Amino acid sequence: MVAVITSSLTVPPESGRPFDDAHTAVCWAHDRFAGGVCVTASFGDATVAHVAHTAVPGIQITLLDTGYLFAETEWFADHLADRFGLNVRVVRPKPHLDRDIWVSDTDACCAARKVEPLQRALRGATAWVTGLRRSDSPSRRSTPLVHNDLMRSVVKINPLAGWTDNDVADYAAEHDLPKHPLADRGYSSIGCWPCTQPAADRSGRWADSSKTECGLHL
């Protein structure tokens, strides 16, 4: 089934209150698409997982484990699941992939270790909730709260779309959310260990190359 936003589907407007908008967007997705919602979280921080779980307690949250996640990220996901009672599903790449493909072809690596697992994670889903923010990078500045993802044949909900770095920090303080262990070591954007360096923004991802996205959100 392909989920499409039509004139009969009322999309929640942005109020300018980021925390309220995020909660409303997740509740709207759950109410509108029932069991067809897939929430993904990279666990680079706790935000989208906590927002989704707070809005809809027990909602399943999917982690795409590429096989190259930092050990700290795997620990952090487990820690958050234990602390907040998160319902985390882990989806991994198909077995027998070339372990060193990232050395020569990062696009092929991302396709096999991120994009293909996402496709499997979204099977049967009609809505996809992500942690995308406009403030992440220039390529994400036009990220809408809700839109059709025609490539994935789902309605894509980005509850944190309007959040700034300060909003993330304020939300973490309000809810006493722990920080990723690498945050204090200069990592503000955390992906796979071969392609992530310490940096104040996403420039630490695929540094010294023109690549800015893994392919999940093109």
Specify which residues 61 forms β-bridges with.
39, 88
Distance separating alpha carbons of residues 158 and 150, to the nearest angstrom: 15
- What is the CA 150 to chain-centroid distance, rounded? 18
Give yes or no: 214 in active site: yes
The catalytic residue among 38, 109, 110, 214 is 214
Instruction: Return the closest-CA partner of residue 50 out of 89, 21, 86.
Output: 86
Nearest to 64 by CA among 102, 134, 119: 119
**What residues pair up with 90 in beta bridges, in sequence order?**
63
103 Cβ partners below 8 Å, 6+ apart? 194
Active site residues: 214
